[in-house]
Structure 1
Amino acid sequence: MSEATEIAVVPEQLERAPRAGGSPRILIIDDEAAIRESLDTLLTLEGFTIAMAGDGPAGLELLSRNEYDLLLLDLALPGESGIDLLPRITAMQPNLPVIMITAYGTMGNVVDAIRAGAENFVQKPWDNEKLLADIRTAIARHRAEEEVVQLKRTLKQRYNFENIVGKSEPMLRLFDVVAQIAPSRSTVLLQGESGTGKELIAKAIHANSPRRDRPFVPVNTGAVPSELLESTLFGHVKGAFTSAISAKKGLFEVANGGTLFLDEIGTMGMDMQAKILRVLQDRRFMHLGGTSEIQVDVRIVAATNVNLQAAVREGRFREDLFYRLNVICLELPPLRSRREDIPLLAAHFLKFYADENGTENRSLSPEALRVLMDYEWPGNVRELENAMERGVVLSTTRTITPDLLPSQLTGSTYSSSLLDHKPDASLFDLMEEIERRIISDRLERCHWNQTEAAEYFKIPLSTLNQKIKRLNVEVKKRNRD
């Protein structure tokens, strides 16, 4: 119970008042004075600011003049019932969480209330601790959603950024630089760990540039076989190679006048690096098998999750190309260095995947949020997104608890689960299963980038491929960074 108490606020004091930033504001609509007083005493002692109404019209009047964090609504009101009022309440404050309270908690009433938009359903007499827990969860979800909406609106107005969420100091500095460099023609190099959102930043650069009405063309150079990459980027003439039955434009031509995003450029072979360097220098290239030069006006935004300077020292990346790309270099911070963005990102992804799956929005329990805040996030924002998608799909209630999070977040071990499920397995079988799971887990964290996984394990790519085949590891289709 909170030490601080708040005096209940009467309607006159709330006229046209915005919702308080610190103390959550709760409206109670119930025709029983004893119920209102009981809730007022309980919630005021817990630090909430309370307003009350004895019937639907009085409650709607308060809603028309004030914003609230939560509504406690009685089902059996004189005149219109609480369920009948819900559509009008939702029209006035669409995102307001509503908890229905009634002495008549039939299954039909519960279903009707939830369908009408209620957050939860509490039966009289209620359990104080459970009611308080439900209220805190609903308010936390509501405020997180509102903060995400407001943040997106601010980023859209100030930077014209889409689908980027962040309020931490590292991200705000990054946003300022992106807004500053976007109007230029300069080549940009994005460096950062896998899963930090490099393609989103590349799109933001393009959307804020004079090229915004021309194509933004992303290509994951690490996902295209080396023997096909030249044709993919530069196109080819008919007959250039065995399967070239017709001429085809390359992505440089497709992106003419716009932006070409070269993701994972650090995986590109030396021969292709020389060809890319020539385009950057002369803005000209030839189709594979062609004889005439083609001139293009393309802005290059490149991205890498490897240290290109180290690759230059090791002879794996051309020094002259590095300096051509490194005109403007932006470092994307890992998620572990901007932890204050984790609740916002989690709320954003929970809403996105709830909408995508046609389910009610989900919120994190305090324990689940604590797990997210304590985790190191080697897979960064992408790993968080995957965890939230999993939570939405597996949850049967509106609250996601730690047991719905991936095992690597909660500290579950491979060995304990193996011993539980395979008590008769030999040591060799257990070791193979552990190796299989470790490889599968790393591939998922690398977004199925086998080259990156091999670098993490410090083994040749061919060795990793052999292990994948021998252990029958399922490899999913790769997604872009």
Structure 2
Amino acid sequence: MAAHPKKTILVADDDPHIQEVLEVRLASAGYEVILASDGREALDVLARTPVDLVISDIRMPGMDGLQLQAHLEKTAPKLPIIFLTAFGSIQDAVKAIKSGAVDYLTKPFEGRELLDKVSSVLSKAVVAQAKASAHGAHVVPPCGTQDCGMWETRSQRMRELAQMVEKVAPRDVNVLLLGESGTGKERIAQLLHSMSPRRDHPLVIVDCGSTPASLLESELFGHVKGSFTHAVRDKKGLIEEAHKGTLFLDEIGNISMEMQVRLLRFLENRKIRRIGDTREIAVDCRVIAATNADLIQDVAEGTFREDLYYRLRVVTLNVPPLRERKEDIPLLAEHFVASFCKAQGMPLVVLPPATMEFIVNYPWPGNIRELKNAIEAGIVLSQGGELTPTDLQVAPTAVHKGQQSESAMSLDESEKVAIIRALEKANWVQKDAAPLLGVSRRALNYKIQKYEIDIPTRRKK
């Protein structure tokens, strides 16, 4: 298994034969190896050279492995250690594990066992090392959703966004969220609401992109009995449901010109009129809107009202795509692996260095949503407790270091693939697939029709 060439391993053992075996095995797998004959020499090496992992014999003359570990707990507590132990000293290894060592190998060991253990330890250390870096990670306060791991960040742009969210959330102003599909705009809306004075009142989410235009007016404004054929009773609209709380209008760029006029009127006087009614109802709610469209271009082309645009964008927050915050990808990947394995009640799946490198360099046109779906599908397909690039089932031609390849899937193609994966995983049962995608069943049905996804006849309703 090829390892990341920058990973350096310090081997501390007084047996020249063991040193030679370890050096050959690890070097052949792509690791850089430094040798030391005891704990004291190992500390001398660490004083002048940074390493990613220490492999140490427990029993050595002079400073033994346990003494080396005790010293490192004070000077380098995040540095992982794998101990080598003979059969008769396994108790020492167990004691070391309890004291902070990450694992141990019993002599004699197989070469594959060694490499598998090293790969596992290094992949688990990626997030810990990132958190221990000089810049550290900035964690935005919890938003109350299972995907809050996405707010742990090492990206300067995301730190700045977090600071803006903290500053804007308590202010009762409209907010426009701009960003590609799957970047987490809805999560930011939830965060803005949870940190606002309105948090004890409803957050009402309206997906303008999945709600047919013919139904959106009734959904938003409500109607009175008899106002149209199927209006058998009065219905309160979603704007009215958001009274005292927050109204989140997702994919606002998709609404019709007629709906834009009605929405503008509400934003100006904070009153609505149900379909078929003559009375006006006052509604006090904060409005957060989001879109992946270029609204400025839409305004220039006359498809989006300029006055509505300025009403919505009192404050604008731009959410960067995942390919522009690559330093966060390892954090997100580890978070999604841990969350999914825990939810499914299965052992933690390992992300080997080669897989992590693939994940970091893939452009993720579907952003966080695509990364999450790919990892969850990959875990289901993985074997032997490791996730490989093949398990992720993403287009290999889309991988391009530094920038997105021209051959990368479009956002629509990426979303379609994610939907098909979820449907397959749910045995083509839409009500089971919808939660996997984090959407409503109605929204999923809309997307299935939009992308003309063929549902096997045996599963059609």
Partner SS for 1:186: coil
Instruction: Tell me if 1:218 matches 2:201.
Output: no
1:370 maps onto 2:357 in alignment: yes
Corresponding residue number in structure 1 for 2:118: 135
Moved more, 260-269 or 333-342: 333-342
Query: What is the rounded CA distance, in whole Å, between the counterparts of 1:176 and 1:252 in structure 2?
Result: 29
In structure 2, what is the Cα distance between the partners aligned to 1:60 and 1:238? 76
Q: TM-score, normalised by structure 1?
A: 0.67
Task: Report deviation, 1:166.
Answer: 2.2
Aligned partners of 2:246, 2:232: CA distance in 1, in Å?
Answer: 29
Report if aligned partners of 2:370, 2:418 keep a CA contact under 8 Å in 1.
no
Tell me the distance in 1 between the aligned counterparts of 2:328 and 2:34. 28
- Looking at structure 2, the residues matched to 4 and 75 of structure 1 have their Cα atoms a distance apart, in angstroms, of 22
* Residue 387 to residue 466, structure 1, CA distance change in 2 (3 Å): closer
The whole-number CA distance in structure 2 between the counterparts of 1:149 and 1:239 is 64
Once residues 412 and 316 of structure 2 are traced to their aligned partners in structure 1, the CA distance between those partners, rounded to angstroms, is 32
Cα displacement (A) at 1:168: 1.0
* Residue in 1 that maps onto 2:226: 239
Given that residues 366 and 415 in structure 2 are in contact (C-alpha distance below 8 angstroms), is that contact kept between their aligned partners in structure 1? no
Instruction: Note the C-alpha offset of 1:329.
Output: 1.2
For 2:49 and 2:293, the matched residues in 1 are separated by 43
Contact 2:416 2:451 in 1 (8 A): no
Q: 2:416 is aligned with what amino acid?
A: E
| 1:249-305 deviation line (CA, Å, top 9, x unaligned) | 221222211111100000001111111111111111022222221111111110001
Report the CA distance between 1:75 and its aligned residue: 8.7
Q: Which residue of 1 aligns with 2:426?
A: none
Q: 2: CA distance between counterparts of 1:439 and 1:184?
A: 33
Hey, what does 1:108 align to over in structure 2?
none
**CA 1:223 to 1:52, structure 2 compared with 1: closer, same or farther past 3 Å?**
same
Instruction: Measure how far apart 1:241 and its partner are.
Output: 2.3
1:138-153 alignment, distance < 5 Å: 138-144=121-127, 147=130
Distance 2:360 2:390 in 1: 16
- Quick one: which of 278, 292, 297 aligns to 1:305? 292
Contact 2:333 2:372 in 1 (8 A): yes
Work out the CA distance in 2 between the residues paired with 1:269 and 1:75. Answer: 74
- Quote the Cα distance in structure 2 between the aligned partners of 1:7 and 1:158: 48
Find the aligned partners of 1:186 and 1:21 in 2 and give their Cα distance.
52
- Which amino acid in structure 2 is aligned with residue 326 of structure 1? R
Looking at structure 1, the residues matched to 36 and 304 of structure 2 have their Cα atoms a distance apart, in angstroms, of 64
Q: Specify the alignment match of 2:106 in structure 1.
A: 102
CA contact (8 A) 2:219 2:238 kept: yes
Tell whether 2:175 aligns with 1:188: yes
**Alpha-carbon distance between aligned partners in 2 of 1:248 and 1:231, rounded to the nearest angstrom:** 8
Instruction: List runs of 5+ in structure 1 lacking aligned partners.
Output: 14-19, 41-49, 104-123, 413-436, 449-463, 475-481
Identity %: 35
Could you tell me whether the CA contact under 8 Å between 2:271 and 2:281 is conserved in 1?
Answer: yes
When residues 154 and 296 of structure 1 are mapped into structure 2, their CA distance, relative to the original with a 3 A threshold, is same
1:417 maps to: none
2: CA distance, partners of 1:333 / 1:176: 14
Deviates more, 1:293-302 or 1:141-150: 141-150
Select which of 60, 68, 72 maps to 2:83.
Answer: 72
Distance 1:98 1:155 in 2: 29
Residue pair 1:152, 1:165 contacting (<8 A) in 2 also: no
Q: Is the partner of 1:399 in helix, strand or coil? A: coil
Check whether the contact 2:123–2:352 (CA below 8 A) recurs between aligned residues.
no
Q: Provide, for residues 82-104 of structure 1, a one-character-per-residue CA deviation record: whole Å limited to 9, x for no partner.
A: 67x69x93xx76xx6434x336x
The alignment yields a C-alpha RMSD, in angstroms, of: 4.3
Q: Check whether the contact 1:218–1:260 (CA below 8 A) recurs between aligned residues.
A: yes
Give the match's secondary structure for 1:213. Answer: coil
1:67-466 to structure 2, matched below 5 A, reads 67=77, 69-72=80-83, 76=87, 89=98, 97-99=102-104, 101-102=105-106, 124-127=108-111, 131-132=114-115, 134-144=117-127, 147=130, 154-156=138-140, 162-163=148-149, 164-409=151-396, 441-444=413-416
Q: Secondary structure at the match of 2:177?
A: strand
Distance in 1, Cα, partners of 2:141 & 2:208: 33
Moved >6 Å (runs of 4+): 58-66, 148-153, 158-161, 437-440, 464-467
Structure 1: distance between partners of 2:138 and 2:450: 49
- Per-residue deviation, 1:74: 5.1
User: SS at the partner of 2:363?
Assistant: coil
State the Cα deviation string for residues 287-330 of structure 1 (Å, max 9, x = none).
22222211111111100011111112222111111111121111
Where do 5+ consecutive residues of structure 2 fail to align? 1-26, 400-408, 421-447, 457-461
Asked whether the equivalents of residues 221 and 264 of structure 1 are also in contact (C-alpha less than 8 Å), the reply is: yes
Partner of 2:395, secondary structure, is helix
Any conservation in 2 of the 1:259–1:300 contact (CA below 8 Å)? yes
1:388–1:283 distance in 2 versus 1, CA, 3 Å: same
For residues 242 and 210 of structure 2, the distance between their equivalents in structure 1, rounded to whole angstroms, comes to: 19
| Residue 16 (structure 1) aligns with | none
Q: Which amino acid aligns with 1:468?
A: E
Cα distance change of structure 1 residues 28 and 347 upon mapping to structure 2, 3 Å threshold: same
Does the 8 A contact of 1:371 with 1:410 survive in 2? no
Q: Secondary structure at the match of 2:188?
A: helix
1:371–1:409 contact (8 Å) kept in structure 2: no
1:226-247 Cα shifts (integer Å, max 9, x gaps): 1211121122222222222222
What is the distance in 2 between the residues matched to 1:28 and 1:69? Answer: 11
